[in-house]
Structure 1
Amino acid sequence: MSNEPVGWTDEDDALLAYEALPDWHPALFVDVFRTGLGQQNAPTELLAAFVTPESLPSWGDFNRARAVFDSGLKISMTALYGIDAPDVAYVRLVETSRHTNDSLDRVPATVHATLVWRPEIEIVPNSSWRIHHLGDAVEPTRVPRTAPGFNPRTQI
């Protein structure tokens, strides 16, 4: 058995693409939330800082969110945005064995994280996303928006 590296993989491609995402990218925020959920004894107050205040009662003790992320779903790096609502983003959680994919149609979302840009309650530098819901995508008209029309993708 050789100790030589096996070569470049799609996981390497994914890691490179992930590192290149801008600070404001919603997939990064979802990943930080996932990491927080995975911390043993993470205080509810800390996890609450990642969600919209309006949705906090529906998160309970965050056990359902932990179960979603513990299920092995991968976080897509292709964020989708609300129609005429660039301040609302959808990060797809997908079931796949691959680390990269060039088609949204080939790997449908199992779960959507619906995020909203909330600059008045920013907790992560250069990113004002808050997660409003984990499950089906929520229409922008049903999300508590305070910066309608702001497009985070225009940031440098």
Structure 2
Amino acid sequence: MNPVDWSAETWGAIGSGATALAFFVSAWVLSLQLKDRRRTPAEGVTVWVDDRYTQDEDRELVRSVSVTLKNAGAHPVFDVQVVVGYGHFGSAVTSVGPLAVPTQPVLPPGAEWTWPIKDLLGSLEVEGRLVAEVSFRDAANRWWLRDFGGQLQRWRGRMRRSVTKLDDGDVTLEKFGPVSWENPVSVAAAFWSVLGDPVGPDRTDRLTSLCTPESLPGWGDFDGIAELLEGHGLASFPAYPAPRVAYVKFPEDVDHALIVSGPTLVAAKIMTLQHRNDLEPAGWRVFAIGSPVPPEAIPGPPSV
């Protein structure tokens, strides 16, 4: 067996190898530290749905459902968009939009905000458990997504899987959720459909029944609204800026219906609807079309 040559050259080779190894280890550790540092502002941002039953004074079960958005980190995040969905464990999640959660330009550190959504679930046919996901941007302009499963990931495909085109043969009111006065998109679709009917008293009566009484003086014969929505489509992603107020989008330059299942930037006319319990049947009514009407500018129902 040849003895090891412990000469200066051998020690130099070992030293060079050890230095190179130390360099690669240091570079690897540094890359992990940089990756962790990039994730740090995003790690504290979470969202969840609280769906529970409690007993009231008469020992009747009362359901409460809310969405909570929290930033437990030390840095603000920006352009925060929450999407609610439902599904069974291990299956795909069906997105139903933000419901009552408005887009937040800034979510400051330490913020924890909650929005009730139970009243909005009447327009949905929910199967399985309710979940939520949140997308946002950090101060370095990196987009992040905490998905329906709670996993945090870089969101390089922002606005993905948001719009689905429907062929003409597939367009039915059922595509936009339950056909009900409790579904604002269903009411918007009905209004849009009746606008295409022949002009006459029957058309006017049907459109009038779909509107709030306070808005009727501004509609006229509705012909101007038909022209306003010419060349528009109907999106299925309503927003709720305040309790009992909904916005439904009519995207411009669209020759087909759209199923919108995520945050999407499109030029659109906005239909503002108000939920009215004082009308028969109770449910959503159209208040205006064009630009979104601020909730505080919408007259409330007359006091009894």
Determine if contact 1:36/1:42 at 8 Å carries over to the other structure. no
User: For the structure 1 residues 78 and 56, does the alpha-carbon distance in structure 2 shift closer, same or farther, using more than 3 Å as the test?
Assistant: same
User: For the structure 1 residues 105 and 35, does the alpha-carbon distance in structure 2 shift closer, same or farther, using more than 3 Å as the test?
Assistant: closer
Q: 1:120, 1:17 → 2: CA distance?
A: 25
How do 1:11-50 residues align onto structure 2 when only pairs under 5 Å count?
11=166, 15=171, 18-19=174-175, 21-22=177-178, 23=180, 24-43=182-201, 44-50=204-210
User: For the structure 1 residues 52 and 20, does the alpha-carbon distance in structure 2 shift closer, same or farther, using more than 3 Å as the test?
Assistant: closer
Of Structure 1 and Structure 2, the greater strand share is in 2
Q: How far has the Cα of 1:139 moved from its partner?
A: 0.8
* Counterpart in the other structure of 2:244: 87
Q: How far has the Cα of 1:102 moved from its partner?
A: 4.8
- Give deviations 1:34-63, integer Å, cap 9, x for gaps: 111111134223321111111111101101
Q: Give 2:212's match in structure 1, choosing from 16, 39, 52.
A: 52
| Larger Cα-atom Rg | 2
Which structure has more relative contact order (CA 8 Å, sep 6+)? It is: 1
User: For the structure 1 residues 97 and 36, does the alpha-carbon distance in structure 2 shift closer, same or farther, using more than 3 Å as the test?
Assistant: closer
- Give deviations 1:9-51, integer Å, cap 9, x for gaps: 8316x75895361332211101101111111134223321111
Determine if contact 1:114/1:137 at 8 Å carries over to the other structure. yes
Fraction of identical pairs, as percent: 31
**Which consecutive aligned stretches of 4+ in structure 1 deviate over 4 angstroms post-superposition?**
14-18
Determine if contact 2:247/2:271 at 8 Å carries over to the other structure. yes
Q: 2:206, 2:173 → 1: CA distance?
A: 28
How many aligned positions are there? 131
Q: 2:283, 2:259 → 1: CA distance?
A: 26
Taking structure 1 as the reference length, the TM-score comes to 0.71
1:137 aligns with 2:296: no
1:75 aligns with 2:234: yes
Q: 1:114, 1:49 → 2: CA distance?
A: 16
Q: 2:173, 2:286 → 1: CA distance?
A: 22
- Give deviations 1:59-79, integer Å, cap 9, x for gaps: 01101111123x121111000
Q: Specify the code of the residue in structure 1 equivalent to 2:278.
A: E
Q: 2:227, 2:206 → 1: CA distance?
A: 18
Calculate the aligned-residue CA RMSD, in Å: 2.7
Is there any run of 5+ residues in structure 1 with no aligned partner, and where?
1-8, 147-156
Is there any run of 5+ residues in structure 2 with no aligned partner, and where?
1-163
Q: Give 1:65's match in structure 2, choosing from 217, 222, 225.
A: 225
User: For the structure 1 residues 132 and 81, does the alpha-carbon distance in structure 2 shift closer, same or farther, using more than 3 Å as the test?
Assistant: same
Q: How far has the Cα of 1:86 moved from its partner?
A: 2.4
Of Structure 1 and Structure 2, the greater helix share is in 1
Q: Give 1:121's match in structure 2, choosing from 245, 267, 279.
A: 279
